[in-house]
Structure 1
Amino acid sequence: MTFVAAACGAPPPAERFEDDRPLNQAGWDEVQRAAGELLPLAAAELRYCSPTPRSRATGDALGYAPLVQLALRDCDMGRWRGLTLGEAMAREPEAVDFWLADPRATPHGGESLLAFISRVGGWLDTRPADDGGRIVAVAEPSVIRAALVYALKAPPSSYWNIDVRPLSTTTVSGRAGRWNLRFDGIPAQRSRT
């Protein structure tokens, strides 16, 4: 299974929890520059995406015609939904610190990091594997980070140390309980501005 990170919807400092904004112009431009390298993934037998507008738009723009998977939705951030990390920190600094330190914490009233990782991992474990078929999934970077933590059986705290760039690809192969990871990278045609 190859994960493709959705194109940008906002510059990194303006990224919001459970951001439902569509692709901005810079995101559309990124998809066009990366299309040459990412279009071949449209030949995958199974094509999925997160339910966010930018994941769906990225998949559609690349010709994937992906099937939305609710299990690939972003972490439920409760009352912090729509806030940036900085805004949440300004409102509830102790709660944010607690949430960052404890993967079971839900001070925002939503889903814990551990539950999020388990949900995404559970979806990954139900995908067909080792049958030679290709699968592609366009997802938010947070969802891909959760899948990687799960696939590697890494401690939940490692989630914060994984950087997934827009339109980068990462492949996991194997089967439930035994996943292998391959970093494919960011398409070379893309230039960061």
Structure 2
Amino acid sequence: MAVRVTFVAAARGSSLLGERFEDDRPLDQAGWDEVQRVAHGLVPLAAAELRYCSPTPRSRATGDALGYAPLVQLALRDCDMGRWRGLTLGEAMAREPDAVDAWLADPRSLPHGGESLLTFIGRVGSWLDTRPGEDGGRIVAVAEPSVIRAALVYALKAPPATYWNLDVRPLSTTTVTGHAGRWNLRFDAGAAQSTLM
């Protein structure tokens, strides 16, 4: 039974250089402006039978601004970064350079005391694999870019290190179509999204 899950990356709440681990800041004015600029292309996704979002303020606000009225899914929360929560990568590196290097090199590592990258990818993948729906059913999920990257690594059965090479931009869309254990990547010509089918 194949379902279609379209991930919408939450609008940003800060500049990319100011991104923080488990960032709970709301949308800034630039984020609101971005939502307004692209809304015409994303509003039709509200027709999905099921609409979800990450629990972050900017994911909820993005989904609400697009008319999705999404249901918060705790499984779509960002990676638990333990004592690094709220820090930028640069701040964590300044405090614990060896620990950051270990975390970036080993997906099982959790020097921050939170969740390993491997566990994070598995949690998001489990959510994806258990989506309800009938054959051809449509789902939309507004999530943090990190969550979408984890979903892509899981769906593609890619090595965990692939996570660091995926660039998910605010308000971009990525669609996965299939069922547990069966996902394929397809790029549509002329489309501004990547599609897994």
Q: Partner residue of 1:89?
A: 93
**Does residue 185 of the first structure (1) align with residue 192 of the second (2)?**
yes
User: Using the alignment, how far apart are the partners of 1:28 and 1:161 within structure 2?
Assistant: 27
Q: Equivalent pairs: percent with the same residue?
A: 84
User: Using the alignment, how far apart are the partners of 2:139 and 2:164 within structure 1?
Assistant: 26
> CA, structure 1 residues 141+128, in 2 after alignment: closer, same or farther (shift >3 Å)?
same
Q: 1:121 offset after TM fit, Å? A: 0.1
**Does residue 3 of the first structure (1) align with residue 7 of the second (2)?**
yes
Give the 3-state SS of the residue equivalent to 1:173 in structure 2: strand
User: Using the alignment, how far apart are the partners of 2:143 and 2:157 within structure 1?
Assistant: 20
User: Using the alignment, how far apart are the partners of 1:175 and 1:138 within structure 2?
Assistant: 19
Give the 3-state SS of the residue equivalent to 2:44 in structure 1: helix
Q: TM-score, normalised by structure 1?
A: 0.94
CA deviation profile, 1:116-140 (whole Å, cap 9, x unmatched): 0000000000013661111000000
Q: 1:182 offset after TM fit, Å? A: 4.2
**Are the aligned partners of 1:106 and 1:112 in contact in 2 as well (CA < 8 Å)?**
yes
Give the 3-state SS of the residue equivalent to 2:126 in structure 1: helix
User: Using the alignment, how far apart are the partners of 1:2 and 1:11 within structure 2?
Assistant: 25
Structure 1: gaps spanning 5 or more residues? 187-193
Q: Partner residue of 2:24?
A: 20
**Are the aligned partners of 1:172 and 1:182 in contact in 2 as well (CA < 8 Å)?**
no
Cα RMSD over matched residues?
Answer: 1.1
Give the 3-state SS of the residue equivalent to 1:71 in structure 2: helix
Q: Partner residue of 1:66?
A: 70
Q: Partner residue of 2:84?
A: 80
Q: TM-score, normalised by structure 2?
A: 0.92
Equivalence map 1:98-113=2 (5 Å): 98-113=102-117
Q: Which aligned runs of 4 or more in structure 1 are off by greater than 6 angstroms?
A: none
User: Using the alignment, how far apart are the partners of 1:167 and 1:33 within structure 2?
Assistant: 10
